[in-house]
Amino acid sequence: MELSSPLWYASYVLVLIGLAGYGFHRLCIVYLYAKHARNKPEPKELFKDLPLVTIQLPVFNEMHVVDRLLESVSKLDYPQDKLQIQVLDDSTDETTEICRLGVERLRAQGFDAEMIHRTDRTGYKAGALEHGTKFAKGELLFILDADFVPNPDVLQKTVHYFTDEKIGMIQTRWGHLNRTFNVLTRIQAMFLDGHLELEQTARNRSGRFFTFNGTAGIWRKGCIADAGGWEHDTLTEDMDLSYRAQLKGWRFIFLNDVETPAELPVDMDGFKSQQHRWTKGSIQVCKKVLPAIWKSKVPLYIKMEATAHLTSNFAYLMLICLCFLIYPNQHAAPNFGPMTYYIVNIPIFFFASVSVIVFYVTAQKALRPHTWWKELPYLPLLLALGIGMSINNAKAVIEAIFNHQTGFVRTPKYGIGQKAKGDWKKSSYKAMKTLTPVVELLFGFFFLFVVVEAAMQSRVASAILLLPFPIGFFYTSLSSLARLLPSGRVALDSTADNSKEN
């Protein structure tokens, strides 16, 4: 096939249409959010006698943060005789001893606390939760990952929704303890804000399916059992169980005004590891539950939104295809005249790119109505990072498609809060190293060539529009490769952003 073949252009346009389709879905979420955001749920009534709550803390090698977690749990504004605390420890390092001492302190304070240690990590986090639930005394299970720091009033603001016996799960919105730690954490916070504030609120309050985020939520034990329990055939057991429970008729509630703060990954390798697990797990769940969704009796609009949600990470495969099609298209696009060019390209550009900007700006305006504009300088980097992560995440999608099994790789957390940075680079916890940064670096050089060539040929608009590609690939690759240097410093990733939390 010659480079000038129209098939290059046709393939290029089809990929862009696919990406534009997911962009259109983002705009639908923005619309649903605007329409339903004010429909705040209220408890059916208040408990006269507060229910017993079992707090489940799944832990695996979290020596930097587990003490902080236990301290915050001990400060919850809830009767001690109505709390059971389970530390579900699968650790293989000194975390186990830290947990043991922490549980002893809780017991000395009068708490019903226990540490359940497994030496066999069967099922990873899902296996730990499944095992711990066998010994849970409470009908309500409050699940917290090790890097979360719940506010004291979180239970008082959430448990009363369970007076409605049809409610199976309550999810709170994640906050960010170290949002302003560096550029990467600022961008991650924007990514998560879009998902947690817009997507979760829009889906839940418009009657669509939405999912448990794996932590900072409360489950009804009977709901978990009715849905088939925790299963560990995917890397996102939270999403899997959520869909199975809602298909059984259980109702979920998302409380966007109840925030539970957590720590964001501060280095690129940790972020990539987390994103790889989430992306791969979502495709595994897609393969597992999408047929059941379409066979169910739920309305068509719910099926369609669930399909868009579960397949959204296939966009990374499209993005990789686009990377291989951009350069041939620069030289092979048929000349249909300026009107046809604009009629075809402007709508595609709007839905594929502008929709992303609208989505994240809307989220920041909702969460920070008076200071949202301060986040605007990070938007170009957010777009670039999304492109730069395409290789890492497309690899995860392909692994899920072909059933390549990998373990549950934890994301290293270092106990970094908003104010203190600590000497986190000396930690023994490191994300897994792969060859992905090398591939990203090669992509960065290739797109640098494409941008320079476009500029030299006076195609200024193309050069500007393509600039996020080399920036994104260089950012993700160099941030990872710099960790291999003796100093361990990351020029792009570890630069402190000392501005105050907005």
Catalytic residues: 90, 238
Distance CA 480, CA 184 (A): 12
The DSSP line for 384-428 is HHHHHTHHHHHHHHHHHHTT-----PPPP-----SS----GGG-S
Distance CA 389, CA 469 (A): 11
Distance CA 66, CA 19 (A): 40
List of residues 6+ apart from 65 with CB closer than 8 A: 146, 147, 263, 413, 414, 415
Q: SS3 sequence, 223-242?
A: HHHHCCCCCCCCCCHHHHHH
Distances (CA, A) of 130 to 17, 56, 215, 465: 42, 11, 15, 48
C-beta separation of 143 from 69 below 8 A:
no
* Residue 89 CB neighbours (<10 A): 26
Residues 148, 152, 154, 160, CA torsion sign: positive
Encoding tokens for residue 205? 């309050």
β-partners of residue 496 are 182
Closest CA to 317 of 19, 1, 85, 7: 19
C-beta separation of 323 from 444 below 8 A:
no
C-beta separation of 397 from 279 below 8 A:
yes
Cα distance between the two ends of the chain:
54
In a 13 Å sphere around the CA of 299, the CA atoms on its Cβ side amount to 7
Closest CA to 341 of 27, 12, 22: 12
H helical segments located in 248-297: 268-295
C-beta separation of 324 from 226 below 8 A:
no
